[in-house]
A and B are shown apart, each in its own frame.
Chain A
Amino acid sequence: MARRMADLLFAAGTVLLLVTAAGLAALWRAGGRDADRMLAIQLLGSAGIAVLLLLAPAMGDAAILDAAVLLALLAALAACAYRASIGASAGAARPARGAPPELRRP
């Protein structure tokens, strides 16, 4: 790949990283729930996939696409793990299941 094109792809990757960083910082500080923070992690995963896709032609290594596949799979695992970790701590009574209450506005 031409050097110029590679440089431009690196630049695009840099912009994407910085945009994501700004979003992560704002989302992390904004308070709110842990679910918002998990969404920030999902954002990082999604942007990471895009960055890896940009790096693959820029670095001339097609195997980087495999890393992108892994990222997609494992980000989903993290979300699932987050969902599974919600719930009463070991040994405590489980809350009664029923119609969920009105969601609170933060």
Chain B
Amino acid sequence: MSLLFDAALCLLLVAGALGVVTARGARRAVLAFIGYGLLLGLAWVRLDGLDVALTEIAIGSGISGVVLLRAVRAVPEAPRPGTRPLAALLSVGVAAALSVMVLALPEPAPTRAHDVAAALPATDLGNPVTGVLLVFRALDTLLEKVVLLLALVGVWALSRDPSWSGRPAPLSSEPASAPSAFLARVLAPVGLLVGLYLLWVGADAPGGAFQSGAVLAAMGLLLLMGGQIRPPRTSSPRLRLLLLAGPLGFLAVGFSGWATAGVFLGYPPGWEKPVIIAVEVAITISIAVTLCLIVLGPPSAEEGT
């Protein structure tokens, strides 16, 4: 019976993808894409990838939706002729190549899941995904946080020189409507609680720093769209401290690993869980603020300082 459910879900996914591709006008395509992201979240749940499902729903559908809806305002309604067939060819080609590769994998597919399961008890964590992210492949996670910061710097670099230290333009060209303000005031506290919960529970169940940061960023965007907070000045030292807390904190733990555990990014024996939690808190804050600022865009001089 679950097969029937999966078949129905696949049908919806294909229909959703077709809806995105055949939509008339960029705005309709973006709306279809938001729906498609929600369906992908369901698909990940069925594939037992709940951590990915949480991320897909938060970022692939929610935050990406905000970014795309803003971006689509500056895009001409009809793409240039010749763009569509080229894009279709490229997409179909990539999809075909990926399908061939996945279907050609040996059965059972190569995996290190057994090694992870064997080594997980030493980390005091119950969620193997968190174990991989923060212990076994901590270096990748550290580099990821730096990359996120670089992306933000890239976005800020798009501003004009005079407005470099100013505030990004607000998310809406009109003052926030009363219903949006109400929605923000009512849901943001709930979202904050959910974000904190995801951070805490990520040690033993699906969740973790990235999902938590994404939810917190989403709540930040909600508050911005509801006119409850103003975009901050990019030169604000407090803001920059929040942005750097994650990467620098992680880096500090990494360097101190030479002293405490004899290896870069080693955790002091017996103190793994508290240190991991501290690192997770730091990177969650940074992820949330960075994602929020990336969506806001470069500082602009439109608003009178």
Interface positions of A (Cβ within 8 A of B): 6-8, 10-11, 13-14, 17-18, 20-21, 24-25, 28, 34, 37-38, 40-41, 44-45, 48, 51-52, 55, 58-59, 61, 63-64, 66-67, 69-71, 73-85, 87-90, 94
Contact = CB atoms under 8 A, between A and B. Distances in A.
B208 to A, nearest CB: 11
Contacts of B98: none
6 contacts: A17-B9, A63-B50, A75-B38, A77-B62, A81-B221, A85-B69
B31 A37 contact: yes
Interface residue tally on B, bucketed by range: 35 or more
Contacts of A20: 12
Contacts, number: 165
A81 B5 CA distance: 31
Given A66-B54, A76-B222, A81-B65, 6 more contacts: A11-B4, A61-B50, A63-B205, A83-B172, A83-B177, A84-B66
B38 to A, nearest CB: 5
- 10 A-B pairs with least C-beta separation: A74-B62, A7-B1, A84-B172, A85-B69, A87-B173, A81-B66, A10-B1, A17-B8, A84-B225, A14-B5
Nearest to B71: A85
Contacts of B221: 77, 81
A37 B172 contact: no
Contact of A48 (B2, B38, B171, B219): B38
B42 interface: yes
